[in-house]
Chain A
Amino acid sequence: MKVLVPVKRVVDYNVKVRVKSDQTGVELANIKMSMNPFDEIAVEEAIRLKEKGIATEVVVVSIGVQQCTETLRTALAMGADRGILVQTDVTTESLAVAKVLAKIAAEEAPGLIILGKQAIDDDANQTGQMLAGLLGWAQGTFASKVDPQGDTVNVTREIDGGLETVALKLPAIVTTDLRLNEPRYASLPNIMKAKSKPIANKTPADYGVDMTPRLTTLKVTEPAKRQAGIKVKSVDELVAKLKEMGAVA
């Protein structure tokens, strides 16, 4: 079974982003970029499936600017077999990305597509779901366990009430949650070997997809500054205050 893993290049999670003065977005110049952490979990899961002999090949794909090759190289260094770069300079929106991925899925015929549940830049949390819709495949989102059995895959999902396990017919879409696994550090020799793994260079036009953004960002602002709090002396006073503010009945 082939496993396809889309990976997004995002602002590194350690970076404190600043809003641009014209409020059109966040400052990206000279900012450290890395693989979306949820996608890293997806890559790790795919590699583990390969190490268990369940997956035969792990293909990673990134859609975005030329520098996404770095993101692909990171995935290749972790253990993926080959990469596909779909190069575009426009802002990538979920639906357009899902359309490109659907075309790649048709070409590559993977048994599983594992995506991050969301990207930490726009927190959209919809690409996997849209892709499942476009392909008409089963989907298991927010996975904390992925267990392929023959022509199905059991996916344990983190939901509000606890854990839910669903059996999906393959091929299927899985999106990863934080507790699925702890991604490995790529070894330094593997980072060097990743240099010789193939990356195919494509454009959205190769897949007949129009990437033109359909959403308009009106304004991006900093989160509101936290107001200073007050200290209470006792639990009684705390409860009284909460009641006063209508936080508890």
Chain B
Amino acid sequence: MDAETFGLLKDQLARYVEERLIPAEDAVEDGDDIPADIVAEFKAMGLFGLSVPEAYGGLGLTMAEEAQLVRTLCRASITFRSLIGTTVGIGSQGIMIDGTPEQKAEWLPKFATGEAIASFALTEPGAGSDAASLRAQAVRDGDFYRISGTKRYITNAPRATVFTLMARTDAQVKGAAGISAFIVPADSPGISLGKPDRKMGQRGAKTCDVILDDVLVPAANIIGGVPGQGFRTAMKVLDRGRIHIAAVALGMADRLIETSLAYAQSREQFGQAISQFQLVQAMLADMEVDRLTSEALLERTAARFDAGQATNRECSVLKLHASEAVGRIADKAVQIHGGAGYMAEYKVERFYRDVRLLRIYEGTSQIQQTIIAKAMLRGV
């Protein structure tokens, strides 16, 4: 996209974040939900369509562009991002990356407008980091599959129109090769949802169990049409998702640093602004180092991703660094705020809880380290 148009996009979003979303944060936290008028505005503004190609009615942003807008969006509570996160990212990307032309034509236009919301259902009670051990079973029955199993902590499940759902189509094959990715409409008979999860943070973002009991899904709903490719699809989705998560981390870092800087300059102790104390300055400087190193890595990885060159090692390095960095930034933000940082009235307390998730989902920090080191040892 040309620089002028992209600049307008970013400005418009930044303004919306400042004027509408940041003032609505407390209502989201207290009400544990995103107000309906904001959901409608997200749709009207086209935010659900960031990553859908233009031919299907979306904006067709590159990864580098998407990352910039996601960063802009995440200056406001990450809960707002969660509304579009799965439809822009992990819930729809399986279809975007590996879907058949028919699957794309059916779903992408609806994702672009927000008419359909997508969720990504990989994790199970017994399969988290070891996703390839998942147990949900899909048994062939003529032109259909019958799927049974339980999916855990599924973001946006209560809002979803459709799930990208990984299930085992070949019971004989243990591990990744027996897994297929299905497009499962959320209103399919046999699907039920667990109670909404009570979480440490990100109030207003919705996760819950998804329970499938003999759910009939057409065989044509296997993403890409070929069984046994589902785990590979899921991993491609997660590689891209890791870049997206780094952009989330940077948006949160921006807000935390901006808030801490303002507080440090206005709070006085010992007769001067606390920003005058070198120990406070050291915290500010460390925060900035963590932000800029994440930014540099994000820009590089996103550009290489757009050029088709990013390896999954690089995506993991980025996710690991950015999510750990923003964790340190949030910790220092609370420290700089002193007692106020522990109080709900000051926003850093909420950010501190919200940001904790970034080191856990879409691959824990330990899983990223494992991916990175294994790639190094294999020499790739």
- Interface residues in chain A, defined as those with a beta carbon under 8 Å from any beta carbon in chain B: 14, 32, 34, 69-70, 73-74, 77, 185-192, 194-195
| Contact of B49 with A by CB under 8 A | yes
What are 25 sample pairs from A and B whose C-beta atoms fall under 8 A apart?
A32-B11, A69-B4, A70-B8, A74-B12, A185-B12, A185-B16, A185-B44, A186-B8, A186-B12, A187-B46, A188-B9, A188-B13, A188-B45, A188-B50, A189-B49, A189-B59, A190-B46, A191-B5, A191-B8, A191-B12, A192-B9, A192-B54, A194-B8, A195-B2, A195-B5
How far, in whole Å, are A73 and B5 apart by their CA atoms in the complex? 8
Taking a contact as CB atoms under 8 Å apart, the answer to whether A70 and B4 are in contact is yes
Q: Which residues of B contact A192 (CB under 8 A)?
A: 1, 5, 9, 54, 59
- Interface size of B in residues (CB-CB distance below 8 Å): 24
Q: Which residues of A contact B44 (CB under 8 A)?
A: 185, 187
Q: Apart from A69-B4, A185-B20, what are 20 other A-B pairs with CB-CB below 8 Å?
A: A70-B4, A70-B7, A185-B12, A185-B15, A185-B41, A185-B45, A188-B9, A188-B46, A188-B47, A188-B49, A189-B46, A189-B49, A189-B57, A191-B5, A191-B8, A191-B9, A192-B1, A192-B5, A192-B54, A195-B5
* Minimal beta-carbon separation of A176 from chain B (angstroms): 19
Q: Which residues of B contact A32 (CB under 8 A)?
A: 11
| Contact of B106 with A by CB under 8 A | no
| Contact of B18 with A by CB under 8 A | yes
Those of B42-80 within 8 Å (CB) of chain A: 44-47, 49-50, 54, 57, 59
- Interface residues in chain B, defined as those with a beta carbon under 8 Å from any beta carbon in chain A: 1-2, 4-5, 7-9, 11-13, 15-16, 18, 20, 41, 44-47, 49-50, 54, 57, 59
Taking a contact as CB atoms under 8 Å apart, the answer to whether A188 and B59 are in contact is yes
Q: Which residues of B contact A187 (CB under 8 A)?
A: 44-46
Select from chain B the residue with minimum beta-carbon distance to A74.
B8
Among B16, B41, B46, chain A packs the most CB atoms within 10 A around the CB of: B46
How far, in whole Å, are A192 and B49 apart by their CA atoms in the complex? 13
How far, in whole Å, are A137 and B336 apart by their CA atoms in the complex? 61
* Minimal beta-carbon separation of A181 from chain B (angstroms): 15
How far, in whole Å, are A32 and B15 apart by their CA atoms in the complex? 12
Taking a contact as CB atoms under 8 Å apart, the answer to whether B8 and A73 are in contact is yes
How far, in whole Å, are A186 and B7 apart by their CA atoms in the complex? 13
Q: Which residues of A contact B12 (CB under 8 A)?
A: 74, 77, 185-186, 188, 191
Q: Which residues of B contact A195 (CB under 8 A)?
A: 2, 5
Q: Which residues of B contact A189 (CB under 8 A)?
A: 46, 49, 57, 59
How far, in whole Å, are A186 and B46 apart by their CA atoms in the complex? 10
How far, in whole Å, are A215 and B155 apart by their CA atoms in the complex? 61
* Minimal beta-carbon separation of B52 from chain A (angstroms): 10
* Minimal beta-carbon separation of A162 from chain B (angstroms): 29
* Minimal beta-carbon separation of A233 from chain B (angstroms): 26
Q: Which residues of B contact A77 (CB under 8 A)?
A: 8, 12
Q: Which residues of A contact B18 (CB under 8 A)?
A: 14
Q: Which residues of A contact B8 (CB under 8 A)?
A: 70, 73-74, 77, 186, 191, 194
Select from chain A the residue with minimum beta-carbon distance to B60.
A192
How far, in whole Å, are A47 and B69 apart by their CA atoms in the complex? 27
Q: Which residues of B contact A74 (CB under 8 A)?
A: 8, 12
Q: Which residues of B contact A69 (CB under 8 A)?
A: 4
Q: Which residues of A contact B47 (CB under 8 A)?
A: 188
